[in-house]
Structure 1
Amino acid sequence: MNIFKRILKIGQAEIHALVDMMEDPISLTEQGIRDMKKQLSETTESAAKVRASIIRTENLITEKEQEAIQLGEKAKLALTKAQENELTSAQGEKLATEALLIKKRILEDIKALRDDINEYESKRDEIYKHIEVLQFNITKWEKELTTLRAKQKVNEAATMANQHMANIDSNSTLDMLQRVKEKVANDEALAAAYAEIAQSKIELPDERKAVQDELTALKKQMGID
């Protein structure tokens, strides 16, 4: 019955510590579930074969029990015929004895067959326990697989975000921000200058007035009033 002991022991080990060391825990978990389902199919087939053996043996016992009853009736019939002088006493006893001997052998066969049934039922119960363990573990690890897939998506998103953060050049970012700050300051200063020009009246120098004295002196020199 070694074949019935080839059950995956995935539920009997410390799985989480093992998974942490795996490069691809999801693929390995999926493979483990496939292996368990295959073993479940094989074990279920074995259980069906053992159950078929039990049914065949029970049917054989029923047949032999009927045969034993018939032989007992033959033994009675032989003795009855001897009493009714249809057979001699010796013939009747001989036939009855032969029938009872065959009946005895059949009853021994029936006992052996019942022992076989007890063994089959013990093996059947063992197989059913293996089936229950496999069904439990398959259900358990299908749920675990759903959780692993969800965790993988979260980890992939976090990894991507970390990669983006790691690819940022902090120095270039600070330089860019400093240039933005300087541009804002320049724009503010330029805006203030325009505001001052708009709010103040600027008087331009009069060039004619600047040369008036020189014109008067020239006219006096030339005797022009």
Structure 2
Amino acid sequence: MGIFSRMTDIINSNINSLLDQAEDPEKMIRLIIQEMEDTLVEVRSSSARVLADRKTAARRLEQVQAEAVSWEQKAKLAISKGREDLARAALQEKHAIEDEVAAVEAELKATDDHISQLNEEVAKLQQKLTDAKAKQKALLMRSKTVESRIKVKRQMHREALDGAFQRFDQFERRMDTLESQLESMDIGREVPADLAAEIDALAENERISDELERLKSEMQGKPDPS
């Protein structure tokens, strides 16, 4: 693809559409800007050659125009000397030079049109580059804003968790305090271990006695008194 065709494609491109389709918009905008900058360098280099060609064509035009004037003056001189044959020959040379003048003028006009188009397209490309850089700046600011918000949310989440754990610890300490208070109220009022064992033994002994009496009654054929 030629440099000027590439420049036209860049000018006609839709940056927003390209960024919307890109997996990594920041990387894509960097590539777009790099392409634009490289294209601008190449276009300006090509434009310099076009401007040099125009200067050459302009000098050639001045030269052939001067030659045409010179041959006309020679034709006048020949006429004044009665040499119509020489005058005719001089006018033939003049006409040949005038054909070259017309060709150089056409070349110069085409070159001027090309330069004018280049100026217009370079201006558009420069504006496109400015827009792309503004878009890049907006993307960077947006990225930083998102990162900052994520950082803040993470900090808030961490603080919320810390607060929840702190409240849980406070609740545990409060329960420990209440349980300790409850236990302290029973101090001095506990039933001795030996006494509790004796009471349990009495209950067990009574159950066994009842069972023994039931068996005796069954063996003697008497009905169970219970």
> TM-score band, normalised by the shorter chain?
0.5 to 0.7
Distance 1:103 1:39, change over 3 A: same
8 Å CA contact 2:36, 2:129 repeated in 1: yes
Distance across 1 between alignment mates of 2:45 and 2:112: 15
SS in 2 for 1:130: helix
Distance across 2 between alignment mates of 1:164 and 1:21: 33
Partner of 1:216: none
RMSD: 3.6
Distance across 1 between alignment mates of 2:39 and 2:172: 72
Q: CA deviation at 1:79?
A: 1.9
Partner of 1:218: none
Distance across 2 between alignment mates of 1:144 and 1:129: 22
Partner AA of 1:122 in structure 2: D
Distance across 1 between alignment mates of 2:9 and 2:153: 38
Q: CA deviation at 1:21?
A: 4.0
Partner AA of 2:41 in structure 1: S
Distance 1:80 1:11, change over 3 A: closer
Partner of 2:94: 103
Partner of 1:178: 168
Q: CA deviation at 1:100?
A: 0.7
Partner of 2:62: 62
Partner of 1:113: 104
Task: Choose between structure 1 and 2 for higher RCO, CA contacts under 8 A separated by at least 6 residues.
Answer: 1
Partner of 1:76: 76
TM-score (norm 2): 0.67
Unpaired runs of 5+ residues, structure 2, are: 185-226
Distance across 1 between alignment mates of 2:38 and 2:75: 56
Distance 1:69 1:146, change over 3 A: same
Percent of matched pairs sharing the same residue: 24
Distance across 2 between alignment mates of 1:164 and 1:20: 31
Distance across 1 between alignment mates of 2:11 and 2:156: 40
Q: Tell me the alpha carbon deviations over residues 53-111 of structure 1, each in whole angstroms, 9 at most, x when there is no partner.
A: 222111111111111111111111122223xxxxxxxxx12211111100000011101
Distance across 1 between alignment mates of 2:57 and 2:8: 31
Q: CA deviation at 1:173?
A: 8.1
Q: CA deviation at 1:176?
A: 6.1
Partner AA of 2:16 in structure 1: H
Distance across 2 between alignment mates of 1:178 and 1:104: 108
Distance across 1 between alignment mates of 2:20 and 2:3: 31
Q: CA deviation at 1:38?
A: 0.9
Q: CA deviation at 1:50?
A: 1.7
Aligned counterparts, 1:99-178, within 5 A: 99-160=90-151, 177-178=167-168
TM-score (norm 1): 0.68
Distance 1:27 1:5, change over 3 A: same
